[in-house]
Amino acid sequence: MKPTTVSHLRQWKQQKHKFATITAYDASFAQLFEQQGIKVMLVGDSLGMTLQGHDSTLPVTVADIAYHTRAVRRGAPACLLLADLPFMSYATPEQTCHSAAELMRAGANMIKLEGGNWLIDTVKMLTERAVPVCGHLGLTPQSVNLFGGYKVQGREEATANQLLADAKSLEQAGMQLLVLECVPSELARKVTEALSIPVIGIGAGNATDGQILVMHDALGITSGHIPKFAKNFLAQSGDIRSAVQRYIQEVEQGVYPAEEHSFN
Determine the Cα–Cα distance for residues 68 and 72; give it in Å rounded to an integer.
6
Determine the Cα–Cα distance for residues 214 and 236; give it in Å rounded to an integer.
17
208: nearest Cα among 5, 31, 12: 12
What is residue 234's DSSP assignment?
A: G
Q: Tell me which of 34, 181, 186, 252 is the catalytic residue.
A: 181
Residue 260 annotated as catalytic: no
Q: How many CB atoms lie under 10 A from the CB of residue 7?
A: 10
- CB neighbours of 95 closer than 8 A, spacing ≥ 6? 89
Q: Write phi, then psi, for 153 (nearest 5 degrees).
A: -115, 155
* Angle between helical axes of 62-75 and 93-105 (0-180°, round to 10): 30
Determine the Cα–Cα distance for residues 249 and 30; give it in Å rounded to an integer.
18
181 contacts 138 by C-beta, under 8 angstroms: yes
200 contacts 208 by C-beta, under 8 angstroms: yes
Determine the Cα–Cα distance for residues 169 and 184; give it in Å rounded to an integer.
20
Q: Which sequence positions are flagged as catalytic?
A: 181
